[in-house]
Structure 1
Amino acid sequence: MLLMPVGIDIAKSVFQIHHIDVETGRTVSKAIKRASLLDYFSNRTPCLIGMEACGGAQHWARQLVKLGHQVRLMPARFVKAFNIGNKSDAADARAIWLAVQQPCRPVAVKSEAQQAVLAMHRMRQQLVKMRTMQINALRGLLAEYGEVMGRSRTVLDKSIPGALLRLAERLPAMLIDTLRDRWNELAKMDEQIARIEQRLRMWLKQDKDCSAIAQIPGVGLLTATAAVATMADAKSFRSGREFAAFIGLVPRQHGSGGKIGLFGISKRGDTYLRTLLTHGARCVLANAKDSGLWVEQLKKRRPPNVVVVALANKMARTIWAILAHGRPYERGYQSQSPRLV
């Protein structure tokens, strides 16, 4: 049965809805208050509802799925191509209505538990950025008074007590006390980051999917938990390559006149997960005693950064294979599926 397509442009207070009434054939474009959205769809026959994958979309997708509707979350970049004319809420809802009827790779609707894991990752990432900003600010301020230090955190912790003592002889006490407080804040951020990682480690032990892919070389605590939460359902991807393309670890293409050129990776999709996989692959190449015959042969033909991205792509495919087929990681496993000639 074909479902009636509906486009919803979500916002904080007023949502815009666009669809064509099946009985009358008239175009319906109306604004609905936030509190009335679920009531509008509660008594309707199942619809194909399209929304942009933006803030709040996961919550409304889960609520609409409970009412029996099919929800498709689409990247904003995909929807933008259907926005014709001036920008408005009505035009955006119409663009979403047009886009939901086209074939595309939708964003997976995540459960609340999966979204909670991603929220932990986002808060940890924010703390790491704030800690880095604090370290750079301290180094810059101290350099203004002739105290130049190395970039590493260890060098800063060793050098800053002596630097503050020397500066206390010629600078106001209010500045020295403020600098010392800012330095002490770094230890508090370390504790907050450690607590988040401890909670993620508990989730890793409880979740069988996270524990399974954590056995892959280069996949640690952060990569395992982020990959499972981001993927949501592994079977929504047809292959490992499709999952690798979803996070931007495949070549960017440009074709014209029957000629196709391949360039660097597309860098589309989830930047955070792609970064974790790339760093994990770099660690494997730097520390593994036996990285495998495939990697050793690739090193002879390609530059180091290309090898890193290729290994990250392979890790992404391995993650999908383990989660989609429900089997443990086996080093040196050879796929028995027939290859296309």
Structure 2
Amino acid sequence: MIEHSIIFIGLDTHKEFIEVAYIEDQRGATPIHFGRISSAKISIKKLARQFQSKYPSATLHFVYEAGPCGYWIYRLLTSLGNCCYVVAPSLIPKKPGDKVKTDKRDAIKLAKLLKSEDLTPIYVPEPEDEAVRDLSRARETAMKDLKEAKYQLKALLLRNNIHYEGTANWSLKHLRWLTELVLPHPAQQIVLQEALQTITERIARLERLDNELSHHVKNWRYYPVVKAIQALRGVRMLVATGVIAELGDLNRFDHPRKLMAYLGLVPSEHSSGGKRHVGAITKCGNGRARRLLVEGAHSYRYPANISTDLQIRQEGLPKEVVDIAWRAQLRLCKRYQKLIKKGKHYNLVVTAIAREMIAYIWAISKEIVLPRVDPKLRLARVPA
């Protein structure tokens, strides 16, 4: 009987079922289609036991694509003592001439690529980190919904040639003015009242999520990093929480350039022969974290200065963190003005500032000591 050290198992996951294929580690082995199983936890546990009984001396390496099903399969398989990898669909090699796609072929393809080490596993957040990320995203969704409701109400008023004479929109005075409006037709009055009620409900929803986010972030293991990076200009509570919730542990990047590339903030390149062409940024990776950094980069258009609000955020932080934040402000404010004077487009300048901001955030995170995590839950690496 041939003894195997590793069995590579590809999972093509779906809501109701999972297609399974595997390949042995010996040279010239042919991938085998195992079949289709239910996506219930008990079925996955049974699948792992079947492979363990068939290959008692081998280590099981599972792989599946990241998608809407989440990371619970990864956590379940790793809790059983197996290796599991989650890969990004955009990084899976694909032949240009391969025009046939089925669940069976996808599972076989994942198993073969895992064996040949052609897959790049992604970072899997801890359950607590994913929960804070969901809360941060829910707060952002609530803000978008509130803005959409306000736009709809302002469009209604514009169609009826009704203009507010005050200066501050959506203040208490403005809201009182809206409640006193009388539109020409009773049907339009109903639309106005429904819009006002929707805005009131969404304001209350946003306040609830703000309070919950502030409460849970202070009990989060990454809160020291969230608090420390607020020493930077343009990085307040919401931006800091959003960036760290999306990126997780920044110490997994051994150089800030890798973090820049992960966020898609580096320029694309298409060079061949003696010609070198550098284009726009790649926009790969996490788009939400990239957008939050660009929002914070706008504040560097002003001269370097420690405002009262920034000084309050820096109180109680280590001197090394405050020094990094000041060096960042001196460099980025100067670089912003230099690029503007060169005639660079405003969006290009802000993107360049955001790219360097993440490098300073990485440097600050290196100064913060975090509690250790259970090694069993860390991201597994592809075997060499």
Alpha-carbon distance, 1:8 to partner: 1.1
The equivalences for 1:29-68 within 5 A come to 29=33, 30-35=35-40, 36-42=43-49, 44=52, 45-68=58-81
- In the alignment, the residues of structure 2 paired with residue 22 and residue 272 of structure 1 have an alpha-carbon distance, to the nearest angstrom, of 39
- The residue identity in structure 2 corresponding to 1:211 is K
Q: State which of 84, 94, 102 in structure 2 corresponds to 1:81.
A: 94
Counterpart check, 1:225 vs 2:228: no
TM-score by length of 1: 0.83
CA RMSD of aligned residues (A): 3.1
The equivalences for 1:169-180 within 5 A come to 170-172=184-186, 174-180=187-193
Which whole-Å deviations, capped at 9, do the CAs of 1:152-206 have from their partners, x for residues lacking one? 98168756765675544x311x431341232132122122222222222233333
The equivalences for 1:235-274 within 5 A come to 235-274=251-290
- In the alignment, the residues of structure 1 paired with residue 14 and residue 259 of structure 2 have an alpha-carbon distance, to the nearest angstrom, of 30
**2:208 match:** 195
Which whole-Å deviations, capped at 9, do the CAs of 1:32-72 have from their partners, x for residues lacking one? 11121222124634333222111123111111111222222
**1:338 match:** none
- In the alignment, the residues of structure 1 paired with residue 38 and residue 234 of structure 2 have an alpha-carbon distance, to the nearest angstrom, of 47
Distance 1:299 1:305, change over 3 A: farther
Which deviates more, 86-95 or 73-82?
A: 73-82
Which deviates more, 245-254 or 217-226?
A: 217-226
**1:315 match:** 357
The equivalences for 1:140-151 within 5 A come to 140-148=155-163
- The residue identity in structure 2 corresponding to 1:228 is I
- Three-state SS of the structure 2 residue aligned to 1:292 is helix
Could you list the runs of 5+ residues in structure 2 that have no partner in the other structure?
53-57, 307-328, 371-384
- Three-state SS of the structure 2 residue aligned to 1:18 is strand
Are the counterparts in 2 of residues 50 and 72 from structure 1 also a CA contact under 8 Å?
Answer: yes
Counterpart check, 1:92 vs 2:93: no
Q: State which of 211, 215, 237 in structure 1 corresponds to 2:231.
A: 215
Alpha-carbon distance, 1:271 to partner: 0.8
**2:148 match:** 133
Count of paired positions: 325
- The residue identity in structure 2 corresponding to 1:57 is G
- Three-state SS of the structure 2 residue aligned to 1:57 is coil
Are the counterparts in 1 of residues 9 and 60 from structure 2 also a CA contact under 8 Å?
Answer: yes
- In the alignment, the residues of structure 2 paired with residue 20 and residue 104 of structure 1 have an alpha-carbon distance, to the nearest angstrom, of 15
Distance 1:205 1:214, change over 3 A: farther
**2:122 match:** 107
Alpha-carbon distance, 1:278 to partner: 0.7
Counterpart check, 1:14 vs 2:23: no
Alpha-carbon distance, 1:149 to partner: 6.1
- In the alignment, the residues of structure 2 paired with residue 3 and residue 162 of structure 1 have an alpha-carbon distance, to the nearest angstrom, of 71
- Three-state SS of the structure 2 residue aligned to 1:31 is strand
Could you list the runs of 5+ residues in structure 1 that have no partner in the other structure?
329-341
TM-score by length of 2: 0.74
Q: State which of 5, 10, 22 in structure 1 corresponds to 2:8.
A: 5
- In the alignment, the residues of structure 1 paired with residue 211 and residue 289 of structure 2 have an alpha-carbon distance, to the nearest angstrom, of 19
Alpha-carbon distance, 1:292 to partner: 0.7
Distance 1:287 1:89, change over 3 A: farther
Higher relative contact order (CA 8 A, sep 6+): 2
Percent of paired sites with the same residue: 23
Are the counterparts in 1 of residues 10 and 110 from structure 2 also a CA contact under 8 Å?
Answer: yes
